[in-house]
Amino acid sequence: MKLLYKGKTKDVYQLEDGNYILKFKDDMTGTDGKFDPGANTVGLTIDGAGKSSLKLTKMFFEILEEKNIPTHFIDANIEEATMTVKPAAMFGNGLEVICRYKAVGSFLRRYGMYAKEGQDLDAFVEVTLKDDQRGDPPISEDALHMLNIVTREEYAKLKDLTVKISNIVKEELAKKNLELYDIKLEFGKVNGEIVLIDEISGGNMRVYKDGKYIEPLLLEKLLLQ
Amino acid sequence: MKLLYKGKTKDVYQLEDGNYILKFKDDMTGTDGKFDPGANTVGLTIDGAGKSSLKLTKMFFEILEEKNIPTHFIDANIEEATMTVKPAAMFGNGLEVICRYKAVGSFLRRYGMYAKEGQDLDAFVEVTLKDDQRGDPPISEDALHMLNIVTREEYAKLKDLTVKISNIVKEELAKKNLELYDIKLEFGKVNGEIVLIDEISGGNMRVYKDGKYIEPLLLEKLLLQ
């Protein structure tokens, strides 16, 4: 098993059969010990955080599979905190596709002149580049196209998949009276088909209950226990 | 004559007939005494800078008028450094529409992972909000539409006008062996029609000659003298 990449919250290994293993770590994004799904740095480490993220990711990827949404998921080993996935080609060096239901976080920091905190945003989609050095800048469809990162056809597909997946997650959460504010998805290509990659857990979404933010570990308990 | 607005490089007055007067000041955007067309602060003041900007603006607005590109321009008084214009309604609290022929400035700071400094960009258009407090954030067509700042139809028109105007400016500069790297335009609505407003001068574009940046005052001399 060959280490391909060490990420902030996951390491990626390559198996001999060509598939990849994602090792979920106990590190979480944030700053100064405070969790923040939008942060670019590891802010804290909590025992069991990796397994907890993987449990939720497994649950959501299996729900998506039932609904014929393509993902890279093959299977998960919760004890080892590892997930076996199909190897996917990235768009450029990686994109994040965000779907927003409420104006919070970086959206509000950018567009606060025109949006009130917490205002409804009807599944608004935007794309950011994965580029820690440049603070994950937002990028338009035109720029993605011009820089040969995403074709027009792929952009439409990414946007459509993002809204579909986010709405499924939102409905699952609503069953437990949890409200999805925003979610950050990653996509790759497997044999030319665009598929969801990475994870779906408290680590890449903001979830609220009765107006109070739900931390990732509590989210897993509320959804799975 | 009633003062409506004090800007960084221009003040706006309202005439009794309803038209506006723009008073071009000698203040220029930049930081620490160094001119920067992309800056959000007044960085320096040069005697005659206002008149110089107005002379170029008059020249370009007259060229655009001949080519049937709608602008807010009525006439200019160079001695007074004032321009009489039609009153135009803003998009929200104001937008800047940027047309880029070379990867420099904020484009490169955001997308440097995928673009080399000075690489050709084929009239790439992007929009930023005029919002000093939030650093003039870039905004997508989808966000402009969702936040009720620009309709889809208006966006297409803004993009089309921006490329047309920028190409005209680029061609004028090329006649003097000057190269346009990027230009920042503003638009408003007069009786529902989208028109170019504000100015076209060294203050809102980056121009190079033989690979060397041309300062706004020198640009005016090279074009008009």
- pLDDT value at residue A36: 86
- pLDDT value at residue B170: 98
Residues B95-224, CATH architecture: 2-Layer Sandwich (3.30)
> Beta partners for B97?
B127, B185
Name which of A144, A51, A138, A157 is nearest A96 in CA terms.
A138
* pLDDT one digit per residue (tens) for chain B, 225 residues: 899 999 989 999 999 999 999 999 999 988 888 888 878 889 899 999 999 999 999 999 999 999 999 999 999 999 999 999 999 999 999 999 999 999 999 999 999 999 999 999 999 999 999 999 999 999 999 999 999 999 999 999 999 999 999 999 999 999 999 999 999 999 999 999 999 999 999 999 999 999 999 999 999 999 998
* Average pLDDT estimate for A196-212: 96
Alpha-carbon distance values, B193 to B20, B86, B153, B163, B189 (Å): 17, 12, 12, 17, 5
Closest Cβ–Cβ partner in A110, A134, A146 for B124: A146
- Chain A residues close to B121, C-beta within 8 Å: 146
Q: Which fold has domain B2-85?
A: Phosphorylase Kinase; domain 1 (3.30.200)
- pLDDT value at residue A155: 98
pTM above 0.80, yes or no: yes
E-strand stretches of chain A: 2-6, 10-14, 20-24, 27-31, 34-35, 42-45, 73-77, 82-85, 95-102, 120-129, 138-139, 179-190, 193-197, 205-209, 212-213
**Best interface-test mutation with A: which of B111, B125, B126, B136 has the largest number of A CBs within 10 A?**
B111
**Best interface-test mutation with B: which of A95, A106, A109, A114 has the largest number of B CBs within 10 A?**
A114
Helix segments in B46-176, DSSP class H: 49-66, 105-111, 141-146, 152-174
Q: How far apart are CA A103 and CA A216, in angstroms?
A: 20
Residue ranges per structural domain of chain A: 2-85, 95-224
Cβ pair A71, A194 in contact under 8 A: no
Closest Cβ–Cβ partner in A110, A133, A146 for B134: A110
Name which of A152, A142, A144, A98 is nearest A121 in CA terms.
A98
Residues 105-164 on A with a CB inside 8 Å of B are: 109-115, 121-122, 124-126, 129, 131, 133-134, 137-143, 146-149
Closest Cβ–Cβ partner in B115, B121, B131 for A113: B131
- pLDDT value at residue B95: 97
- pLDDT value at residue B39: 83
Q: How far apart are CA A219 and CA A197, in angstroms?
A: 21
| Neighbour count for residue B18 (Cβ, 10 Å) | 8
Q: Which one-letter amino acid corresponds to residue B164? A: K
